[in-house]
C-alpha cells in the first residue's frame, strides 16, 4: 500500500497524472527513512531536514505537517497489525502541487509515503568485496541545493549505469573543484590514522542523517578525531579505510579502489555503536 495525502491506495494504482511537477520539473524532494521494530530511527533529524529542505525550495509547509502528524502517517503506511514491530525502508516524497510552468501556480504540496519490508532491524556490516571508482563524466555543483535530497538524481542514475557497465559496485562523485563529494548512494568517510574525514557540506554533499549521527558519535567517544574537510582523489589510495554511509544500509566498507586495499575495523566499531544507540543490540 502507498499513503497518498493520507489515503492508503494499492501500490499499482494510478493516482498521479502527466501534470505532476515532480515528473515535469523534478520539483520534489524526499526522505529515505529506516524503521526498526516499529521505531522510526533518527526521526527528529529527518523531520528537521525535511522542513529545512522545503523552505530552501520555497514550498508552502502545511500547518498539519507537524512531527506527530508525519510520524503517524509513516506508521499508517506500515503493514496493519505490525506497526509496532515492523522493520521497513520508508520513502517520503513531497512535491509541489500541479499547475503552472517553471513558475508554479501555487506553492502547496502533496506527499507520498511508501514502505518496503527489511529482513533485519539491526545494522550489519557487509563483508563481501566492494570496489569503487571515480565518476568523471559529470560533476556535482557545490551549492546549497546540492545538500538537499531533491528528486533530480539523474547524475546518480547515469553514474550507477556507468558502475554496472564497468564492473564496479559504486562510484565517487566530484564537484567542480575536483574534490570528492560523496558516493552515488551515500556520504563518504576516509580513515587515516586517528583522523576520520568526510567532505564538508560546502563541497556539495547531501546533508546525510547518518553522517550527522556518526560525527556526533565520534565527538562523544573521542577515539577517532572527526574532520569535515575536502578530500582530493590523491588521498584515497593512502587511506586506511573508506566507507559509505546511509540510513538504510548503515555502513558500507569499501575494499578496493584501483590498486589500494582497505580494512574495515573502524567501520565495524561504528556499526556496533549505531546499533547500541538505536537500542538494536
Low-confidence residues in the chain, pLDDT < 50: none
- Predicted pLDDT of residue 194: 94
Q: Is the pTM of this model over 0.75?
A: yes
Query: 147: which DSSP letter?
Result: G
- Predicted pLDDT of residue 274: 94
Of the candidates 51, 31, 41, 48, the residue with the CA atom closest to the CA atom of residue 91: 31
Measured distance CA(250)–CA(271) in Å, rounded: 7
Instruction: Confirm if 3 and 11 have CB atoms less than 8 A apart.
Output: no
Measured distance CA(45)–CA(47) in Å, rounded: 5
- Predicted pLDDT of residue 147: 96
Sole residue written with cell 569503487: 132
First to last CA, the chain: 30
- Predicted pLDDT of residue 11: 78
- Considering only CA atoms, give the Rg of the chain: 19
Task: List, in order, residues 6 or more apart from 35 with CB less than 8 Å away.
Answer: 41, 74, 78, 86, 87, 88, 89, 90, 115, 118
CB atoms within 10 A of CB 189: 27
- pLDDT, tens digit (0-9, with 9 covering 90-100), for 164-194: 999 999 999 999 999 999 999 999 999 999 9
- Predicted pLDDT of residue 21: 86
Sole residue written with cell 575494499: 255
Amino acid at each position: 500500500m502507498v499513503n497518498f495525502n493520507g489515503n492508503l491506495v494499492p501500490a499499482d494504482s494510478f493516482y498521479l497524472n502527466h501534470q505532476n511537477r515532480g515528473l515535469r520539473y523534478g520539483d520534489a524532494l524526499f526522505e529515505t527513512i529506516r524503521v526498526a521494530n516499529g521505531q522510526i530511527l533518527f526521526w527528529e533529524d529527518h523531520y528537521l531536514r525535511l522542513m529545512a529542505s522545503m523552505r530552501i525550495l520555497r514550498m508552502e509547509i502545511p500547518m498539519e505537517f507537524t512531527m506527530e502528524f508525519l510520524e503517524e502517517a509513516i506508521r499508517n503506511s506500515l503493514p496493519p497489525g505490525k506497526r509496532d514491530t515492523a522493520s521497513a525502508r520508508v520513502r517520503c516524497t513531497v512535491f509541489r502541487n500541479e499547475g503552472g510552468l517553471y513558475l508554479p501556480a501555487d506553492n502547496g504540496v502533496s506527499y507520498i509515503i511508501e514502505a518496503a519490508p527489511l529482513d533485519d532491524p539491526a545494522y550489519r556490516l557487509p563483508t563481501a568485496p566492494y570496489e569503487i571508482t571515480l565518476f568523471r563524466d559529470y560533476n556535482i555543483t557545490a551549492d546549497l541545493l546540492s545538500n538537499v535530497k531533491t528528486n533530480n538524481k539523474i547524475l546518480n542514475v547515469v553514474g550507477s549505469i556507468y558502475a554496472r557497465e564497468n564492473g564496479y559496485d559504486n562510484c565517487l562523485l566530484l564537484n567542480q573543484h575536483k574534490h570528492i563529494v560523496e558516493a552515488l548512494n551515500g556520504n563518504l568517510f576516509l580513515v587515516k590514522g586517528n583522523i576520520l574525514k568526510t567532505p564538508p557540506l560546502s563541497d556539495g554533499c547531501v546533508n546525510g542523517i547518518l553522517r550527522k549521527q556518526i560525527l556526533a558519535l565520534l565527538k562523544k567517544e573521542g577515539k577517532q578525531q572527526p574532520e569535515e574537510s575536502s578530500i582530493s582523489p590523491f588521498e584515497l589510495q593512502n587511506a586506511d579505510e573508506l566507507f559509505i554511509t546511509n540510513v538504510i544500509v548503515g555502513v558500507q566498507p569499501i575494499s578496493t579502489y584501483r590498486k589500494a586495499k582497505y580494512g574495515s575495523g573502524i567501520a565495524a566499531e561504528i556499526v556496533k555503536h549505531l546499533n547500541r544507540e538505536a537500542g538494536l543490540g
